[in-house]
Every structure is written in C-alpha cells, then in structure tokens.
Amino acid sequence: MALPAVLVEQQEEKREALARDRAFLTEGLTGLAEYLSEAAVDAFSDGDIEMGSDLTDQAERARQRLGKLQDDMGRAGRLLMTVPEVLGVALVLPAPLEIEVETDDGVTRLLMRRDDAVEQAAMDAVMAYERQRARFPKDVHQGESWDIESYDAQGQLVRYIEVKGRGPEDADVVTMTDPEWEAARRLGEQHWLYIVRLGDGMLVMIQNLYAKLEPRELKRWLVRITDAKGHGETVSFVDD
C-alpha cells in the first residue's frame, strides 16, 4: 500500500534527523571512549593501577553505550520504513469503586462510578441555586480542590463549594478524595459541601463538614448523605 505524499515527506525528514543524531552521538561516544582509553594507558604508565582500571571501565561503558545506541537507532530507522496497521481500538474505563456501607439491614455493597452527566447536572443545579440567592458563582473545578467559588454582591468570596452529584433518590453515599478532604479541613467555615440528588431534587448543604462529620476513610472519604442532612440544610432545587 502506497503511503500518502505527506507521510513520505515526514518519513524522509525523520530519517535525515535520525542520521544526523546518530552521526553526532557516535562521534561523541567514540571520541570519549578513545580519550578514556588513552588516559588509562597514561595512568598505568605512571603506576596508578587504581586510576588506570577505573578509566578502563569507563571506556568500556562508553563503548557499550555506543553499541546500544546504534542498535536502538537501527530499530528506529526500520520502524520508519514500516507502514502502520491499525489492528483494533480499545476503550479503557476506570473500574468502579466498590464500598461497603453499614445500614439497618446489615452491610450493603455499593458500586460507585463517576457519571459525567450527573456531575454536570449537579454543577448546573448548584450554580443556579447560588444565583437565586444573589450570589455570583464561578466554576473553578478544573484548577482547584473544590468546584465552585461563590461571591457576594460586594465581590467578596464567601463560599468554597465542593459539589457531589448522585442520581438515584435513595442514594446515601458520596465520596471525597484526599485533596478535597484536605481543602475542607484547611478552609474551615468557608468550605461548603453541596450534595445534589437528582432522583428526588434534593440539595443538601453543609458548612465546615470537616468539623461536623466523621466520614469513613476508604482510600477516599465516604460521606453519608443522611449524616450531612443531620448537620446541614436541605432544600429542593426542583420547582413545584
């Protein structure tokens, strides 16, 4: 199968670059090995056996590096001549986090998997809620260990908000990562956890959860929604 002209041109440019690099490195390592060998002879001639042996070992390592370099660059050159063939495409998804939660009926095993659609819906709900309360939310989840910074009318930052979204109306667990939990500890009264449960339109808000809750640590911090409700405020974000 003939390669497109643009790929042929790219291959030629890479071959030329590889040849230049190979010549430069070969000359350098060869010169180094020769220099070390001559220095070893001088050392032996002066009766410094220890120095001579050390320089001889260094010269041999330089030659070994040169041999490996030539082998590696030879393989690289052969790969440039090979037409790539796509054998298949794989989609790798993270395994869900499996946790055990104690309930009145015993221990229940739950699978926690991130759902981007749920998380985005939760973010949208919280942003709308903050605007309804005459605050000015800013989405910062890409660069911080919290999701939203909310400002008052005077431009004062009043809430650092961590947003957690769940879908089912019976969901009773959210998880927090170590950086998120550390942010809750460090920010104290300014930190808020907003839990959005889309199934029943419930929004739970708790301020300074680090001081109020005792979540379970399981590589992540496990927060019971019922515990958050008991220490925070619960509203409905769905219009009646």
For residue 146, the model assigns a pLDDT of 92
pTM of structure: 0.49
Check whether residue 32 and residue 112 sit in a common domain: no
pLDDT at 93: 42
Q: Is the pLDDT of residue 45 over 90?
A: no
Residue ending a domain, choose from 19, 47, 80: 80
Instruction: Answer yes or no: is 90 within a domain.
Output: no
CA angle (231 as vertex; 227, 233 as ends), nearest 5: 110
> Domains in the chain: how many in total?
2
Nearest CA to 203 out of 124, 126, 113 is that of: 126
73 and 112 inside one domain: no
DSSP 168: S
Cα–Cα distance for residue pair 198/201, rounded to 1 Å: 5
Q: Which domain, by its residues, includes 9? A: 5-80
222 and 128 fall within a common domain: yes
The answer, yes or no, to whether residue 111 has pLDDT greater than 60, is no
Apex 152 CA angle, 149 and 156, nearest 5? 75
**What is the predicted pLDDT for the residue at 81?**
58
54, 80, 106 — which closes off a domain? 80
Q: What is the pLDDT of residue 187?
A: 93
Provide the mean pLDDT of the chain: 76
Q: Does 119 have pLDDT greater than 80? A: yes
In the prediction, which pLDDT does 151 show?
Answer: 95
Average pLDDT of the segment spanning 215-228? 65
Cα 94 from Cα 87, distance rounded (Å): 23
